Structure 1
Amino acid sequence: MIQISNLEKRLLLISVYAAIGFSVLGIVIGLLVNSQFIFFDGIYSLISVALSGLSLLAAKYIGKNDWKRFPFGKDVIEPIVIIIKYTIIFLLVVASLIVAMISLFQGGRDVAIGVALIYSLVGTVGCFLTYLYFKKHTGKTQSGFLTAESNQWLIDTFVSAGVLIAFIVASILQNISSLAYIVPYVDPVMVIIISLYFMKLPIKGIKASLREVLSMAPKKELRQEVEQVMVNIEKEYNLAESFIRVSKTSKTLWIEVDFVVDNNSKIKTITDQDKVREEIKQNLSKINYEKWLTISFTSDRKWAL
């Protein structure tokens, strides 16, 4: 069963506090300088607060011991929460795209460039440093929550970078009289570009989490690593056949193996079976996931199918 570490809880809290800071700054500055791009950045950060809070609540709930109600653990809660988060992010991006297109056809927006440049520089650096901090710890924990948070900050980094690039371009164009008419269009055009590009990230996250909710097989490399261990065991103990089922939910790898034994097999007693189980456990220890192992032996093939 998944265990939520203190590190994960601490990082999720950091994400909440950081998102609150960026959201307030973005919304206020966006309204002051009349920039949809900055306002979108602030609204995105505000929604990130709610989403990070949702992750934190889910993480705490998953960490509570409740074996009577959840005999197989609460691992599936994590991908469900991640699907909700990515769906909201996707809808936010689509809404921003629609508003930007309307603004574009209405003649664009006049923006106070100087203030916008300072905000976008601070936002880009701040979001990128937060993303790097999360990225550093995500690989150590194999946490879906932290991966989703990391992706959120990556999106915010590129949105802020897009703001920065847009206003650098706008500041150059406003000093060129023959091109100054383009300046009002810079803000909505950058929103459209960023929105179209980053639609794929939440879609990718939703697809990956759906695979876990539906208990589908994990990525090919991970599945093959597990299967190779079982093939070696099958050969070592002269087992007639093996049936392997592998799925991944959150940080838990679910592995069910049914070995078919015959008269030539070296498995004769329950002690022999336990020996094989221990060997499999040791051989799988290098895979950086919690494992839920179910290993069965039968002399009748029909019970393995």
Structure 2
Amino acid sequence: MNSFIKTEKGILTISVYSAVVFSVAGVLLGILSMSQMILFDGLYSFISVVLSLLSLGAAQYIRKNDFQRFPFGKEIIEPIVLIVKYTVILVLCSGAFISAAAALFTGGRETALGYALLYAVLSAGGCYLVYLFLSRKQQTIRSGFIKAEANQWKMDMYLSFAVLGGFIVTAMASAAGFSFITPYMDPLMVLLVSGYFIKVPLAEIVKAFKEVLEMAPDKEIQQQISGTIKKVTVRHNIEESFLRVSKVGSKLYVEVDFVLQTESNVKTVEQQDQVREEIADGIKKIKYDKWLSVSFTKDRKWAI
């Protein structure tokens, strides 16, 4: 079991099973308590199940070797799947926002607080534990799929704590004689939470599109790689270098073109391979699969 939860497939499978439990509980208790907030939480978990299965299938497909059809790998599938996942979440949040806004202007909704509080307590605690597990695993396994799962559970965790806080306030207001505001609390919570969550899928969709377009990765990654290249250039007295970096899914593509002059220390194929080893060693701490291409030329036109 310990080895299973150390793999991407194992971690995603645990996320799927957890989402199934929360989705069933959310939908059932949402209907019993007549709470749109809990029903929204349950539907979010149900959609998470479908999206997690999509991630699991895509992750397994990417890991299968198919060099003849995909000579550069299948990592491009990862950001495409993430765009689909976050688009679905965006639609769900937008629909909940519109529905809650309509309910506020039509008198709100009555809620059975007993069921609502029970679900809120269990959901908040459970989501926190699953999110904590996924976020820790994401630190050791650099996977866009696991990061997306962690983001889904973080949103669900915030949602659950917001639900819990809202229902506690509702119960206190009802006990203090302000029961006339209780019908508005449930749609108000949906409005605030779904409105806040809309920015998360939007930001992640933008990131995924950047990977599909093979744009440059985060500045931190670029700085680590460019620092290594500068050291190699000085060490071997190389006149000029051109660095191109992009990240697609879990793979980091690094292409370096060195322009050599007569005074350069790099003369033989063996010395060129030594430069490649130095670069590979310098960037090995970056936790992505690397596709490293290093070329040497004396004519600058082949490097630009």
Which consecutive segments of 4 or more residues in structure 1 shift more than 3 A?
A: none
Mapped to 2, the partners of 1:30 and 1:285 lie a distance apart of: 49
Question: Within 5 A, what are the aligned runs for 1:59-78?
Answer: 59-78=59-78
Q: Deviations over 1:84-111 (max 9, x none)?
A: 1111001100000001011111100000
Q: Deviation of residue 12 (structure 1)? A: 0.9
Q: Deviation of residue 271 (structure 1)? A: 1.6
Mapped to 2, the partners of 1:141 and 1:210 lie a distance apart of: 22
| Equivalent residue number for residue 44 of structure 2 | 44
Question: Within 5 A, what are the aligned runs for 1:78-97?
Answer: 78-97=78-97
| Equivalent residue number for residue 283 of structure 2 | 284
| Equivalent residue number for residue 29 of structure 1 | 29
Q: Deviation of residue 176 (structure 1)? A: 2.6
Mapped to 2, the partners of 1:285 and 1:37 lie a distance apart of: 46
Question: Within 5 A, what are the aligned runs for 1:183-202?
Answer: 183-202=182-201
Equivalent position amino acid for 2:7 in 1: L
Equivalent position amino acid for 2:209 in 1: L
| Partner SS for 1:265 | coil
CA contact (8 A) 2:173 2:182 kept: yes
State, as a whole percentage, how many aligned pairs show the same letter. 49
Mapped to 1, the partners of 2:195 and 2:8 lie a distance apart of: 31
Q: For the aligned residues, what is the CA RMSD?
A: 1.1
Moved more, 34-43 or 159-168: 159-168
Equivalent position amino acid for 1:272 in 2: Q
Question: Within 5 A, what are the aligned runs for 1:1-305?
Answer: 7-177=7-177, 179-305=178-304
Q: With structure 1 as the length reference, what TM-score do the two structures score?
A: 0.96
Q: Deviations over 1:232-288 (max 9, x none)?
A: 111111111000001111221110000001111111121221111112112222222
Q: Deviation of residue 200 (structure 1)? A: 1.2
Equivalent position amino acid for 2:223 in 1: Q
Equivalent position amino acid for 1:64 in 2: K
For structure 1, list consecutive stretches of 5 or more residues without a partner in the other structure.
Answer: none
Equivalent position amino acid for 1:90 in 2: L
Q: Deviation of residue 6 (structure 1)? A: 6.2
Moved more, 10-19 or 48-57: 10-19
Mapped to 1, the partners of 2:111 and 2:36 lie a distance apart of: 9
Mapped to 1, the partners of 2:231 and 2:162 lie a distance apart of: 52
CA contact (8 A) 2:19 2:45 kept: yes
| Partner SS for 1:174 | helix
| Partner SS for 2:262 | coil
Q: With structure 2 as the length reference, what TM-score do the two structures score?
A: 0.96
For structure 2, list consecutive stretches of 5 or more residues without a partner in the other structure.
Answer: none
Equivalent position amino acid for 2:127 in 1: C
CA contact (8 A) 2:32 2:115 kept: no
